[in-house]
Amino acid sequence: MNSSGDIVSFKYNKMKKSKTERKESVKHIVVDQIENKLNDSHTQKLTNSDAEQLTDQAIELLHQLIVTPSFSSEEDKTALLIENWFVEYDIPFERENNNIWAYNKYFDASKRTILLNSHHDTVKPNGNYTNDPFKAFVEDGKLYGLGSNDAGGCLVSLIATFTYFYNRKDLKYNFVIVASAEEESSGPLGLKSVLKYLKNVEFAIVGEPTLMQLAVAEKGLLVLDVSIKGTASHAAHPNDDNAIYNAVKVMQWFEAYEFEKESKTLGNVKMTVTQINAGNQHNVVPSHCDVVVDIRVNDAYRNEEVVEIVKKAMPDHVEVRPRSLHLGSSSIPMDHPIVKSGINLGRTTYGSPTLSDQSVLSCPSLKLGPGDSTRSHAANEFIYVEEIGEGIDLYIKILEGIV
Ligand SMILES: [Zn+2]
């Protein structure tokens, strides 16, 4: 902290002003209960950013995020809660749509930047919920509520970690934190849409529940629409160009083909035919048969390469259309300093089969966060309150190892 009186009073005035502004902007939107809690808890602790205090504040923020619905592309109210955090800690931030980002105080353009990211949108609650998904309550050490585990716990832990490092002058890296939207829907206004504003990012930590183990690689997802052509005819007549029979051969290829390059952490590329559609009358041989192929791509291939390999293998009467190419695999080298730092702290490494916002990043990225991915999208979602404290503690220690 700076000890100059001028700066302190300047900061104090700025704080007062921004707090008033905040009140104006959120008054009608955020429920009174949240407003009161913010006034009670955050303001007293503005000057104290030690890890324990930050943990309490992070858990408080998580409560608020849970009780505030934030389905993908409807995250405006949780975005305000996150803005409030930065206002209360006097941290300048930027926002576009429902994405909010902030840099460390002593940002230095000559240094590389560590991106900390997690999302504040949630899926819709499934039909098996017996709790109110928007009620945040603690029972047996578990904090229940929609988005508690995916990815609220990770997000508040990363925000607390960022705040912990925010005022530090002696850092080797810059930090930027992005609380992003539209992760669950892979929507256009999520992390991908703000990457262009982020300066000099060297690598990223993406907060998703991994039990605080190091997910050093993540499979990408590629979906192909494959249309196999044939010759339409009356079923009573001879026809040696039946699209459905042609499709059988194509599907057998998808079943049998093995991609050459394996990945140590993610194994092979996995292709699965998951949908098939052809014909609408018993006596008509259809002109085409359409299949959908789900491909989980390892970090040895880019999605574009996989599409090329498939297209080359297909005969002329087969059309292959990728739905999108942007959900690529991701990884971080095992000898990357952040991975080494985690391993030194007793963390294990693994390859993750699930997809996260890592897929839109072109820099190396590590998936790491409190909570358990098997609780995500499940009924009566929860995170252990203790996991938040452990998460913040470990994030800080792993980062201390390199900054
Ligand atoms: Zn998630």
What domains sit in the chain, N to C, each tagged with a CATH number? 13-218+330-400 (3.40.630.10), 220-322 (3.30.70.360)
Measured in angstroms, how far is the CA atom of residue 154 from the centroid of ligand 1? Answer: 9
pLDDT of 135 reads: 97
> What is the Cα–Cα distance from 41 to 60, expressed in whole angstroms?
8
Q: Calculate the CA 363 to chain-centre distance.
A: 15
Work out the angle at residue 31's Cα, subtended by the Cα atoms of residues 27 and 36, and round it to the nearest 5 degrees.
80
Element containing residue 22 per DSSP (H, E): helix 5-26
Measured in angstroms, how far is the CA atom of residue 368 from the centroid of ligand 1? Answer: 11
> What is the Cα–Cα distance from 100 to 104, expressed in whole angstroms?
14
Query: Is residue 188 classed as helix, strand or coil in its secondary structure?
Result: coil
Low-confidence ranges of the chain (pLDDT < 70): 1-49
Sign of the Cα torsion 47, 206, 360, 66 reads negative
Measured in angstroms, how far is the CA atom of residue 150 from the centroid of ligand 1? Answer: 5
pLDDT of 324 reads: 85
**Whose structure tokens read 């499940």?**
378
Contact 30, 82 (CB under 8 A): no
> What is the Cα–Cα distance from 182 to 98, expressed in whole angstroms?
9
Tokens of 18: 């921004």
Measured in angstroms, how far is the CA atom of residue 316 from the centroid of ligand 1? Answer: 40
The percentage of the chain sitting over the pLDDT mark of 70, rounded to a whole number, equals: 88
Neighbours of 280 (CB within 10 A): 7
Measured in angstroms, how far is the CA atom of residue 149 from the centroid of ligand 1? Answer: 8
Contact 162, 174 (CB under 8 A): no
Measured in angstroms, how far is the CA atom of residue 84 from the centroid of ligand 1? Answer: 22
Give pTM, 2 decimals.
0.78
Element containing residue 115 per DSSP (H, E): strand 113-119
Measured in angstroms, how far is the CA atom of residue 310 from the centroid of ligand 1? Answer: 30
Measured in angstroms, how far is the CA atom of residue 256 from the centroid of ligand 1? Answer: 33
Measured in angstroms, how far is the CA atom of residue 307 from the centroid of ligand 1? Answer: 27
Measured in angstroms, how far is the CA atom of residue 147 from the centroid of ligand 1? Answer: 8
Amino acid at 228: I
Tokens of 171: 């850092």
pLDDT in tens, 132-163: 999 999 999 999 999 999 999 999 999 999 99
Measured in angstroms, how far is the CA atom of residue 334 from the centroid of ligand 1? Answer: 23
Measured in angstroms, how far is the CA atom of residue 356 from the centroid of ligand 1? Answer: 6
> Is omega for the bond preceding 151 within 30 degrees of 0, making it cis?
yes
Distant-in-sequence, close-in-space partners of 316: CB < 8 Å, separation ≥ 6: none
pLDDT of 261 reads: 96
Distance (Å) of CA 346 to CA 218, 352, 370: 21, 19, 15
Residue 325's φ and ψ, nearest 5 degrees, are -115, 0
Query: Is residue 357 classed as helix, strand or coil in its secondary structure?
Result: helix
Measured in angstroms, how far is the CA atom of residue 205 from the centroid of ligand 1? Answer: 13
**Whose structure tokens read 């990945």?**
263
Measured in angstroms, how far is the CA atom of residue 200 from the centroid of ligand 1? Answer: 25
No. of H helices and E strands in the chain? 10, 18
Contact 121, 377 (CB under 8 A): no
Measured in angstroms, how far is the CA atom of residue 315 from the centroid of ligand 1? Answer: 39
pLDDT of 292 reads: 97
Q: What is the largest CA-CA distance in the chain?
A: 95
> Is omega for the bond preceding 102 within 30 degrees of 0, making it cis?
no
Tokens of 150: 């995916």
Contact 362, 137 (CB under 8 A): no
pLDDT of 15 reads: 38
Measured in angstroms, how far is the CA atom of residue 191 from the centroid of ligand 1? Answer: 12
Measured in angstroms, how far is the CA atom of residue 312 from the centroid of ligand 1? Answer: 35
pLDDT of 27 reads: 36
Measured in angstroms, how far is the CA atom of residue 389 from the centroid of ligand 1? Answer: 19
pLDDT of 178 reads: 98
pLDDT of 326 reads: 86
Measured in angstroms, how far is the CA atom of residue 375 from the centroid of ligand 1? Answer: 11
Contact 182, 188 (CB under 8 A): yes
Q: Is 147 left (phi over 0), alpha (psi -120 to 50) or beta?
A: left
